[in-house]
Amino acid sequence: MVSRLIEKIQKTKAPICVGLDPMLSYIPEHVTKKAYDEFGETLEGAAQAIWLFNKEIIDATADLIPSVKPQIAMYEQFGIEGLKAYDKTVKYCQQKGLIVIGDVKRGDIGSTSTAYATGHIGKVQVGSNVFAGFDTEYITVNPYLGTDGVKPFVDVCNEYDRGIFVLVKTSNPSSGEFQDRLIDGKPLYELVAEKVVEWGEASMDGAYSNVGAVVGATYPEMSRVLRKLMPKTYFLVPGYGAQGGTAEDLKYCFNEDGLGAVVNSSRGIIAAYKKEPYVKFGAEHFGEASRQAVIDMITDINSVL
């Protein structure tokens, strides 16, 4: 799977993914009005607004980017109707040729992890039939339960040519409460990185592994260390833009070949029309604002590679 991601990145010259993390507050009034006129101010109406919002952004940016990252929580808050919008978004992105990273952060005991993996990146047997559930190319995985919780995901990656990104050093301010604690003289995130390398050796796809790592752009010195520890691991890099990470900060996430990382931006792109550089587009043209924000992000990141 990682070879497909790399191929898309090289083709677009854009080592980025757009985080499709819609909140109702991001959605222009004319979009919510259209949805509410059809379905009322209901969970179904909210889900429809999200879908219409996502579709316009996807249509405006799909030719520029290799991948998207929908955060499932933004859909789950609207219950089953929200999950329908998530599924619809995933399938539409795939129709556009995009690689979908389902940001689901799953991880549990072995049998539960197997079920999570089956539902999101694998296939399930129903009588004599086999079905794919959410069917994303990648998902994010929480490694807190150790190998028992991660190996089932790796097994499914190998069976169906899929990938995972394991949380290693996240971009949020309190990540250090656990991730930076020293164990035998090493910070915990380094120990997790070593396990990611070990797990990844069981799922190589060319020069890189299908087992990637989430490494935040907000801690550049740590990403420099992690890049050396995980030379064959692809990084999913959150924290760029709205969370304060800059192109200069994230350059250490890349290898000398210019590969090794895909950088995420969520509200910096999908809510670009609300930001000063793009207000000229107006809410009616929020998709065009998102497109320009993508172009600017690509230019910014490529300037340091």
Residues marked as catalytic: 105
What is the CA angle 86-68-7, rounded to 5?
A: 135
CB 28 within 8 A of CB 5: no
Q: Which amino acid is at 111?
A: S
Q: Which amino acid is at 230?
A: M
* Alpha carbon distance 111, 142 (integer Å): 15
What is the CA angle 279-94-30, rounded to 5?
A: 35
CB 28 within 8 A of CB 283: yes
Q: Which stretch of DSSP H or E encloses residue 292?
A: helix 286-302
The label of the residue with tokens 């230019």 reads 299
Rg (C-alpha) for the chain, rounded Å, is: 19
Say which residues have a Cβ less than 8 Å from residue 48's Cβ, sequence separation at least 6: 35, 38, 39, 85
45: tokens are 């109406």
The label of the residue with tokens 């059809």 reads 38
Distance of CA 150 to the CA centre of its chain: 18
Q: Would you give the end-to-end CA distance of the chain in angstroms?
A: 23
231: tokens are 């030379």
Cα pseudo-dihedral 55, 265, 137, 15, rounded to 10: 110
